[in-house]
Structure 1
Amino acid sequence: MKLENLSSLKSFCSYNYTFMFPSLDKLLIMYCRRMSMFCAGDIHAPLLKGMRWGNHEKLLETNLNKTTQLLFTQEGLTLNQKNATMIRDGEFQANLFDKVRTLCLESFVDESVTFPYSFLGRFPNLQELCVEHSCFEEIIPSEAQIVNHMGKIASFKELYVGYLDQLKTIWNDDSQLQPIHQDLKRLEVECCGRLIKLTPSFVSFENLTHLKVCGCHQLIYLVTSSTAKSLVNLQRLEISDCERMEEIVRNNESEDDVEATIRFYSLWRLQLTDLRSLKSFCSQNHHTFKFPSLQYDVSISGCQQMKMFCGGVVETPKLSNVKIDEDRLYLEGGLNKTIEMAFLNKV
């Protein structure tokens, strides 16, 4: 059994049923930030000796419910504006929050409130930050403010930002992201309707392995070519339901006449879904894109204006086919030519 990326999941079942799993011997629970118990009733899983919670293997302590509750209380914490203010202003023992690995901040509904960046210093072992259903216009402040907290805030590895109706930018344009971005491995942004820029123009994400963006309708492009060059470890790129997005990689203005090779060494999954304004992955004709690990998992659907993959050269030595809408097409003359022919067949 695998439960993954269910950000609203609280339990397998909230009713007091008895569940029998006589054959279950493996259980994986990942990115289920609200799950504080497995179910309200009894569970019988005689073959299950342990579970994987996120990146950690854990032997069962008494039963599945007990182990899930223990992991949740030790490693995950969800706070609203009132809770966070109480913790920030109150007196607590120094190591009270040392075990917290996942912090979710939600329901900051006061429109005058700014993201409590310094508050993150309360969680020295933070690995994952989740910010959702709040009125923040910005998450990571300017470089000057970051410098004041250098060494005091954990360099967390995962960032989820979702359902922030007022959010205009995640990182301040002046932010160099030094304490945050160096170890960031996963970035997920969902339903931020006013977000106009994902990252500053020249930021580097060398350790990022998973990038997912959904429902951000003001984004015209995803990243600049400068940032794209740093994504050497990116494995999964999933972009969906962004109404105004015209291209994934936009050329930096300072590089208009510079030929460049952009290598996505590790990318094995590329999914572009319901991007109705998307015309290409990159419109510039002087870039060469290399995807040495792309082999099977390439899907492009609901991108009616996409006439080609990119304006320049694209190299996919292992890729033999691509899924376009409902059709699985074998590459004929390369990825650019295959997409061009698929577009012409629809006209």
Structure 2
Amino acid sequence: MKRLNALETLKTWECKSLEVVCEEIVVTEKEQEVVETTPPLFVFPKITSVQLCNLPQLTGCINASQLLSLKRLEVRGCDKVGIFAAEFSHFGKKYEMEPLMTSQKPLFLTDKDSFLDLERLSLFGMEIWDGPPPADQLVFSKLKSICFYGNCAPFSKQASVLFLQSLQNLEEIAMRQNSYERISGCTTREEIHVGAIGSGTLPSVRSLTLRWMDQLKDLENDNSQSLLLPNLETLELWFCSRLKSIESSAITFRNLTTLRVWHCDGFEYITSYSVAKSLVQLKTLEVASCQSVVVIVASNVGDDDADDAPGNEIVFSHLQHLGLLNLPRLQGVSSENCTVKFPSSVTLSVYSCPIKLKISPNGVLLRVIEDQSSSM
């Protein structure tokens, strides 16, 4: 293994029988005995990128302290592993109490020297953490981005939420290809862990991306008393076919600067008037290939909201780019009882839509009525 000390990238793919990635054999000076360490150890001090993909027999546990330079880690298709990581001390106590099934064992065991440089993490179908958050604040201290693939519910269990809260530099969360009905990770047949979301705000997270979540119905929080993402700046929704609007009790929109909605056929409108009023910092708005979208800003349907009276106005004073692409049912930007204004400098891109739009000199977005007589 010493000959691999300069290795910087490790990619392990499609090894159907692989159970352990690397074991260290230690020879004691006195007894000259060969002792297999537990857990197995990596011995790659310069490695910066690891991919463990489609290893159905992989069990772990891996000592994370041997990956001091690791910056990027991807784990997917490791079906026997149900938990990404836990601390040595917590796992040891748990194991002493009763033997654990393979799915209950973490893939990585951590201590004070673990994952000090890790910046990007991608997980497929496993819980991110087991036990209390890391005792040492330097562990995972540089982690900025986490992508959860498959039925991985980062907000459904107390241990996961508390772990995410401990990541002071976490900026981006992405969820992809899962079957949950809410971003908390619960279906109507599941119960969320009591208190898991109660005070589980993630103030450092600036970006949330949801892709290929066919069962997602809304962006609500199971505990409506708590904002999960109070400082979100970027929200991207892709291929969420059952989602109907961006309305959410988990997110506050006052800091949102970028909103992208692509291939979400359940949307008839992107936001209600009341939510649109809070988008005061919005700079980029893109809506594309949403087959049912009629307007971007709709009336507060069913609400007796005085702010929704005819003649009301929304001013997106910071908007720099508005893109509308392939919206076959689009009739306008807003309902008839609302006027939407933009800066005159905004970049307007409208393609493959049944209407044409222009910005008037005073910033009002207007529908262009074509002169039918000119074509006769």
TM range (shorter): 0.5 to 0.7
| 1:171 aligned onto 2:226 | no
Give the SS at the match of 2:118: helix
C-alpha deviation, 1:336, in angstroms? 2.0
| 1:269 aligned onto 2:315 | no
Matched to 2:141, the amino acid is: D
Cα deviation, 1:230-277, whole Å, max 9, x if unaligned, reads 111100000001111111001113235353221101001000001111
Relative distance call for 1:97 and 1:132 in structure 2 (3 A) is same
Relative distance call for 1:164 and 1:266 in structure 2 (3 A) is same
What TM-score do the two structures reach when normalised by structure 1? 0.62
| 1:291 aligned onto 2:342 | yes
Cα deviation, 1:127-185, whole Å, max 9, x if unaligned, reads 1110001111100489x95762246x44411100001111111224873653413x110
Q: Distance in 2 between matches of 1:295 and 1:346?
A: 31
Relative distance call for 1:346 and 1:128 in structure 2 (3 A) is farther
8 Å Cα contact 1:289/1:315 also seen in 2 = no
8 Å Cα contact 2:316/2:341 also seen in 1 = yes
User: Which residue of 2 is the match for residue 116 of structure 1?
Assistant: 156
Q: Percent identity?
A: 27
Relative distance call for 1:284 and 1:94 in structure 2 (3 A) is farther
Cα deviation, 1:320-347, whole Å, max 9, x if unaligned, reads xxxxxxxxxxxxxx7525x222899799
Please tell me whether Structure 1 or Structure 2 has the larger radius of gyration of its CA atoms. 2
Q: Distance in 1 between matches of 2:249 and 2:154?
A: 23
Relative distance call for 1:236 and 1:249 in structure 2 (3 A) is same
C-alpha deviation, 1:195, in angstroms? 1.1
Select which of 239, 256, 268 maps to 1:208. Answer: 256
The within-5 A match list for 1:137-286 is 137-140=181-184, 148-150=198-200, 153-172=202-221, 175=224, 178-181=227-230, 183-200=231-248, 204-252=252-300, 253-255=303-305, 256-285=308-337
8 Å Cα contact 1:274/1:302 also seen in 2 = yes
8 Å Cα contact 1:243/1:276 also seen in 2 = yes
8 Å Cα contact 1:185/1:209 also seen in 2 = yes
Name whichever structure is richer in helix by fraction.
1
Relative distance call for 1:135 and 1:259 in structure 2 (3 A) is same
8 Å Cα contact 1:130/1:159 also seen in 2 = yes
| 1:134 aligned onto 2:178 | yes
C-alpha deviation, 1:225, in angstroms? 0.4
Cα deviation, 1:292-312, whole Å, max 9, x if unaligned, reads 2x42520111111x3767xxx
Q: Distance in 1 between matches of 2:172 and 2:373?
A: 44
Gaps in structure 2 of 5+ consecutive residues: 1-47, 51-68, 74-116, 186-191
Select which of 303, 315, 326 maps to 2:353. Answer: 303
8 Å Cα contact 2:154/2:184 also seen in 1 = no
8 Å Cα contact 1:165/1:193 also seen in 2 = yes
Cα deviation, 1:43-96, whole Å, max 9, x if unaligned, reads xxxxxxxxxxxxxxxxxxxxxxxxx964776211111223x26x3359965543
Q: Distance in 2 between matches of 1:212 and 1:104?
A: 18
8 Å Cα contact 1:235/1:268 also seen in 2 = yes
Q: Distance in 2 between matches of 1:342 and 1:275?
A: 22
Relative distance call for 1:145 and 1:105 in structure 2 (3 A) is same
Give the SS at the match of 1:122: helix
Relative distance call for 1:127 and 1:239 in structure 2 (3 A) is same
Deviates more, 1:71-80 or 1:208-217: 71-80
User: Which residue of 2 is the match for residue 326 of structure 1?
Assistant: none
8 Å Cα contact 2:219/2:249 also seen in 1 = no
Relative distance call for 1:173 and 1:92 in structure 2 (3 A) is closer
Q: How many residues align?
A: 253
Matched to 1:209, the amino acid is: T
Q: Distance in 2 between matches of 1:202 and 1:91?
A: 22
8 Å Cα contact 2:220/2:249 also seen in 1 = no
Relative distance call for 1:220 and 1:173 in structure 2 (3 A) is farther
Q: Distance in 2 between matches of 1:231 and 1:271?
A: 16
8 Å Cα contact 2:285/2:323 also seen in 1 = yes
8 Å Cα contact 1:115/1:138 also seen in 2 = no
